[in-house]
Amino acid sequence: MCIFCEIIAGNIPSTKVYEDDMILAFKDINPVAPVHIIVVPKEHIESAADINESNSKYVAHIFEKLPEIAKSQGIESYRIINNCGEDAGQTVKHLHFHLVGGVKMGEKII
């Protein structure tokens, strides 16, 4: 099992901030901003390059819930980051979106 599947299964502890039958959101262990939440589908999808007709519902659901998750953390403006593949810096091979905020980030993407 990958590390995020272990977190979903409850085998590795995490600070959960939102959960339903399709997705889980928890605090990043190494936050880069005052708010840094990881949002994952409960189905193991390796990366954004593996989204297809049968699993895209998870991505849609994540984006439907992101504003509510952000609000629960006290922010309404945030950056959503997905690292897809090696060169982009994806270290955990389970599709996830970083919800980052609580700080003025400026206009540069990287």
CA distances from 31 to 20, 28, 38, 43, 99 (A): 23, 5, 10, 24, 10
Pick 72 or 83: Cβ nearer ligand 5GP: 83
Residue owning tokens 């928890």: 26
Confirm whether 61 is a catalytic residue: no
Give the nearest distance from C-beta 88 to ligand 5GP in angstroms.
Answer: 8
C-alpha 4/C-alpha 14 separation (Å) is: 10
Q: What is the total count of residues that contact ligand 5GP (CB under 6 A)?
A: 14
Residues that bind ligand 5GP (CB under 6 A): 3, 12, 14, 26-30, 38, 83, 89-92
Task: Point out the residues that are catalytic.
Answer: 96
